[in-house]
Structure 1
Amino acid sequence: MARAYVCAVDVGTASARAGIFDDRGQLLSRAVHPITAYQPEAGHGEYDSEEIWRAVCAAVKAARAETGLSAGAIAGIGFDATCSLVVRGENLSGIGISASGGDRFDTIAWFDHRAIGEAEECTATGHRVLDYIGGVMSPEMQTPKLLWLKRNRPESWRAARHFFDLADYLTFRATGSTARSQCTLTSKWTYLAHDGGWQHDFFRGLGLDDMLAQGGLPDEAIPVGAPVGTLTAKAAEDLGLTEACRVASGLIDAFAGALGVIGGRDDDRLYSQLALIAGTSSCLMGFSPSPRHLAGVWGPYFGAALPGQWLFEAGQSATGALLDHVIRIHGGGLEPDAATHRRLAERIAKMRADPHADLGESLHVLPDFHGNRSPFAEPQARGVISGLALDSSFDGLCRLYWRTAVAIALGLRHILDHLAANGSGIDTLHIAGGHTRNPLITALYADATGLTVHQSETEDAVLAGTAMAAATACGLYANLPEACRAMQRPHRVIEPDMAARPAYDRDYAIFLRMHEHRREVEAMQLQLNQPAEALSDPLQPRDL
């Protein structure tokens, strides 16, 4: 029988990736094109959406060219992306979102934390939408970013005609349709797909009662896997495809990863497994048959990935980004590229094989350099490194890198313990994302958590999930669950090394105590920042 083919596009923090898949989920080719993440000041991140579209088009053309397939062989295309916010104006012009007032950048990056104050205001409303985002509004979601925009760039607000999640912007560029995905609106815009959609009183209370009209936001969302339309003539030319190619509704990247690694599981196993989408940041995704409300865990979201299923999302805001940061700050000029990470991993593996090597056991790290997403939901939290010495050697960098990786794994264990304490019976992690290319870290996840880890044979499971949605949208499968089952790929199993467990248990006890200490110090700082007359014995030492 003739094979059918789809294209999947994933826009991450630093690049656009495209893959061509057959109808059994086999990845035939993959191409990558960089994008620029502009960081004009601390806590701010911005993109140029036109540059993103050009990168997408270049990646799609390169991926198809590698396969030798004709443009007409690609029956469907799907897009996933980070939850970045795109602002467009009349005639689809880009609208500046920079605090500096420049107009080149029209997209607030997912990791941008400029709206921490606005996020706290959203939380202070106590509105019931908070019950579906873990009780605390994150500055990485869209409502606080839009509130910041209205207050700080009022001219941009007035000029805006469209507010898009990045994945929805890409389907718009592809089809001309302003439809929005149930995945993006439910998970990042406080749209309650299970109960009436938009909660107008929430926005009215924040002074955002004009947000829906100003941003051209629809009353209803499009389910995941549903077709948005077909490619316009211009988009078909840009992408090197044909106007017959059908376009699937968009996905947040981590949600695509969840589809790619656990979306095809039968219900009796679906609920005991989690998807770990680990790259620049890490997301821990799980499904449940009924809503589960947990503090510090985003969701529950109805139908944000699989139809009829609830999904919850925990996470760490900086994981791969933190390892990059360690290299930049402590690497003596080394660049955090793939070659450097590989060199570090190879040297650490040799050091671990030597029973007499110093692996930095006296180094302890809290990895919350960009806030704690889960389980504390504290975006203002900051990281800690304890035990630094005057060591600028390469082996010294290896020790710090390794102990930072251990801390990231312990942070994952912390989240899993939080889930277990609230009734989650999780026994397996399915890992996807950039961390799968570092065998040192994938094994560490198993050892530090004590869970079995599954790693798909697919080079890019996030793209695989988006391909499943594309295959559904173009009619290769009757529905999304069927596509997920048919296109699911085999995986290899990584079992934890139980002999390593005592050492990680000791590290974990210190990790938890450091969190307690950090929070106590932050509480002291808040108290000391009060007016002097409000303090009781401000100069007296405090027992921490």
Structure 2
Amino acid sequence: MSGGEQKPERYYVGVDVGTGSVRAALVDQSGVLLAFADQPIKKWEPQFNHHEQSSEDIWAACCVVTKNLRETCWDKAGHFFDLPDFLSWKATGVTARSLCSLVCKWTYSAERGWDDSFWKMIGLEDFVADNYSKIGNQVLPPGASLGNGLTPEAARDLGLLPGIAVAASLIDAHAGGLGVIGADVKGHGLVCEGQPVTSRLAVICGTSSCHMGISKDPIFVPGVWGPYFSAMVPGFWLNEGGQSVTGKLIDHMVEGHAAFPELQVKATARCQSVYAYLNSHLDLIKKAQPVGFLTVDLHVWPDFHGNRSPLADLTLKGMVTGLKLSQDLDDLAILYLATVQAIALGTRFIIEAMEAAGHSISTLFLCGGLSKNPLFVQMHADITGMPVVLSQEVESVLVGAAILGACASGDFASVQEAMAKMSKVGKVVFPRLQDKRYYDKKYQVFLKLVEHQKEYLAIMNDN
């Protein structure tokens, strides 16, 4: 390259496979999302509460979205893949597995490898044969380059060029964490600017929520998954907390309320989403007090589908105390607010468990669908007492996936370097510290709710 020639611009494709659709984005070297496409995934329900999807259909959807950017039996199976590894195999023909998938879902240890005794104990000793060829005997860290890149066949299917680098993958929530947690925060007045990246907690909040914290040394947190070595950021241990059905719970509470049809009509008339309308309605009825104080006598325990973290108790149920006979739009708005607060209180519960075990967290980095809701964001800041950082690009999972591609291509020396260059801070929401005493009291009630639920269960089970 002569001195006058400019280095050609480089672009990366991030692909995110969700529950209902495959999404893809074209991302440049500075982390800006240039183009976006999505494609629904087919779902089947062979019987009540049983849901199935097709990996081939998912691959076809990946091909559709990528092109759009540019304009069952053990004995018969050759390989078993977690979905991200299946997709990278389809793209490259390489059967290597991502360390992320194996340590977080398949009982693999980054230090010791597979455990023969476990597979024999559960009757799957066939997996041990041939050096674990069916479930993976080549394991790569996220962002490592796979083989020779896209095969000619995959390149044709995707509408790309053969040989383009393909990275070892991440689970979707982990890609979201990668897309936000390494952002350069200079100039935003955040305490974490002078702290290590381990002071940051990534919260990926959509249908459910995941809480990703990293540490230099392994930390065991009761009720929180991990520690997993290099499962998200290479060289760091990952702890993963979570709340089941958070976005789904908000939908459930709002859509099941008697005033929901009225809400739909009024939101449609204003060309707003129902949640934007509810947020503005709360501002109307709060009068002189802070909006969060509207729930002084209405409290929600959010585990309608059991608790994942930090109690790890799937038998827990949801609770609401403080209901009245009236069911008008004001009541719906306040119940919605109490539900959002309950999810934020659950995040505080997880953070306190992580800190009690040895984490030191000062700042939240939010991404996912719920991070687009300003009430959800503000309640997380107020209730945890921590500033919330939002990404410049809302689709952080796709940016995280593109970061892996950027690393695999050799354009960045490490995942950490790519994170710092491609993750951008969009907005910072600070907590209203003057409301701290109110939320401390709400948190006391929150903990009492589950304590009482366990007491009720003990009474009913007493012989």
| TM-score past 0.5 threshold | yes
1:301 pairs with 228, 231, 236, which one? 228
Question: Which residue of 2 is the match for residue 176 of structure 1?
Answer: 93
Correspondence for 1:428 among 349, 363, 373: 363
Report if the CA contact (8 A) 1:255-1:285 is conserved.
yes
For 1:480 and 1:261, locate their aligned partners in 2 and report how far apart those are by CA, in whole Å.
13
Confirm or deny: 8 A CA contact 2:220 2:357 kept in the other structure: no
- Picking from 55, 58, 61, the partner of 2:64 is 58
Aligned residues: 438
**1:229-278: CA deviation from partner (whole Å, max 9, x where unpaired):** 32233322322212122211110112112211123579942111111111
1:27 to 27, 33, 36: 33
- Are the counterparts in 2 of residues 163 and 215 from structure 1 also a CA contact under 8 Å? no
2:425 paired residue among 462, 471, 490:
490
**1:207 equivalent in alignment to 2:123:** yes
Alignment of 1:257-406 (within 5 A): 257-263=176-182, 268-330=195-257, 332=260, 339-352=273-286, 355=289, 359-406=294-341
Q: Is the 8 A contact 1:163 1:217 kept in 2?
A: yes
Structure 1 residue aligned with 2:16 = 10
Native 8 Å contact 1:260 1:461 kept in 2 = yes
Q: State the AA in 2 paired with 1:341.
A: Y
Correspondences of 1:224-243 after superposition (within 5 Å):
224-229=142-147, 230-243=149-162
| Structure 1 residues 528-543: aligned runs within 5 Å | 528=462, 535=463
Distance 1:513 1:47 in 2: 40
Corresponding letter in the other structure for 1:19: A
Q: Secondary structure at the match of 1:178?
A: coil
**1:89-146, Cα deviation, whole Å (9 max, x unpaired):** xxxxxx3xxxxxxxxxxxxxxxxxxxxxxxxxxxxxxxxxxxxxxxxxxxxxxxxxxx
Matched position secondary structure for 2:80: strand
Q: Structure 2: how far apart are the matches of 1:495 and 1:351?
A: 23
Give me the whole-angstrom Cα distance separating, in 2, the residues matched to 1:248 and 1:232: 13
Q: Which residue of 2 aligns with 1:188?
A: 105
- Is the 1:409–1:448 Cα contact (8 Å) retained in structure 2? yes
Q: Cα deviation per residue 1:292-323 (whole Å; 9 max; x = unaligned)?
A: 11111111001112222111111111111111
CA–CA separation in structure 1 for the residues paired with 2:329 and 2:47: 30
Task: Please state how far the C-alpha of 1:361 moved relative to its aligned partner.
Answer: 3.4
Deviations 1:418-446 (A, max 9, x none): 12222222111111111121111111110
Measure the CA separation in 1 of the matches of 2:282 and 2:50: 33
Is contact 2:219-2:357 (8 Å) kept? Answer: no
Return the offset for 1:42: 6.5
Aligned position for 1:254: 173
Q: Secondary structure at the match of 1:226?
A: coil
| Contact kept? 1:13, 1:280, Cα under 8 Å | no
- CA distance in 2 between counterparts of 1:54 and 1:345 reads 39
Checking the alignment, whether the CA contact within 8 Å between 1:429 and 1:452 is kept in structure 2 is yes
Deviations 1:64-85 (A, max 9, x none): 33xxxxxxxxxxxxxxxxxxxx
| Contact 1:160/1:215 (8 A) holds in 2 | no
Q: Is contact 1:212-1:218 (8 Å) kept?
A: no
Deviations along 1:142-177, one digit per CA (max 9) or x if unpaired, are: xxxxxxxxxxxxxx3444333221111111222222
Question: Cα offset for 1:23?
Answer: 1.3
Alpha-carbon distance between aligned partners in 1 of 2:446 and 2:41, rounded to the nearest angstrom: 35
**Alpha-carbon distance, 1:39 to partner:** 5.3
Q: Which 5+ residue runs of structure 1 have no aligned equivalent?
A: 66-94, 96-155, 529-534, 536-544
Q: Which residue of 2 aligns with 1:69?
A: none
Greater displacement, 207-216 / 302-311: 207-216
* Identity in percent: 43
Cα pair 2:298 2:321 within 8 Å, conserved: yes
Q: Say which is worse superposed, 208-217 or 11-20, in terms of deviation.
A: 208-217
- 2-structure distance, mates of 1:180, 1:241: 23
Structure 1 residue 384: deviation in Å?
1.6
- Output one character per residue of 1:202-253: Cα deviation in whole Å (capped at 9) or x when no partner: 2212222224559811223111111123223332232221212221111011
C-alpha separation between the residues in 1 aligned to 2:354 and 2:234?
Answer: 23
Q: 1:40 to 1:501 in 2, by over 3 A?
A: farther
Partner SS for 1:160: coil
CA distance in 2, matches of 1:410, 1:55: 37
Q: Distance in 1 between matches of 2:31 and 2:168?
A: 19
Distance 1:250 1:312, change over 3 A: same
- Cα distance, 1:48–1:212 mapped onto 2, change above 3 Å: farther
Q: 1:438 aligns with which of 348, 373, 385?
A: 373
1:99-248 → structure 2 map (5 Å cutoff): 156-194=73-111, 196-211=112-127, 216-229=134-147, 230-248=149-167
How far the C-alpha of 1:188 sits from its partner, in A, is 1.0
Structure 2 residue runs without a partner (length 5+): 1-5, 185-192
Match of 2:431, SS? coil
Between the aligned partners of 1:467 and 1:411, the Cα distance in structure 2 is 31
In the TM superposition, what is the alpha-carbon distance from 1:29 to its structure 2 partner? 1.6
In the alignment, is the contact (CA less than 8 A) between 1:224 and 1:307 conserved in 2? yes
The one-letter amino acid of 2:275's match is H
CA distance in 2, matches of 1:520, 1:293: 28
What residue is the counterpart of 1:68 in the other structure?
Answer: none
Shift of 1:13: 2.3
Q: In structure 2, what is the equivalent of residue 149 of structure 1?
A: none
Asked whether the 8 Å contact 1:257–1:464 carries over to 2, the reply is yes
The alpha carbon displacement at 1:14 in A equals: 2.3
Question: Is residue 49 of structure 1 aligned with residue 62 of structure 2?
Answer: no
Q: Secondary structure at the match of 1:471?
A: helix
Q: Which amino acid aligns with 2:408?
A: A
Residues 388-425 of structure 1, C-alpha deviations (whole Å, 9 max, x = no match): 33344333222211111010000011111112222222
Alpha-carbon deviation of 1:463?
A: 1.2
Shift of the 255–356 alpha-carbon distance from structure 1 to 2, 3 Å rule, reads: closer
Q: Does the 8 Å CA contact 2:175/2:400 hold for their aligned counterparts?
A: yes
The 1:197/1:61 distance shift into structure 2, 3 A limit, reads: same
Please tell me the residue identity of whatever aligns with 1:260: G
* C-alpha distance 517-201 of structure 1, shift in aligned 2 (>3 A): same
CA spacing shift, 1:286–1:246, aligned 2, 3 Å:
same
Given the alignment of the two structures, is residue 461 of structure 1 paired with residue 390 of structure 2, yes or no? no
Q: Counterpart of 1:240 in structure 2: which amino acid? A: G
2:211 partner SS: strand
State the SS of the aligned residue for 2:103.
Answer: helix
Q: TM-score, normalised by structure 1?
A: 0.75
Q: Answer yes or no: is the 8 Å Cα contact 1:366–1:407 preserved in 2.
A: yes
Tell me how far 1:488 sits from its aligned partner: 2.4
Aligned AA (1:285): M
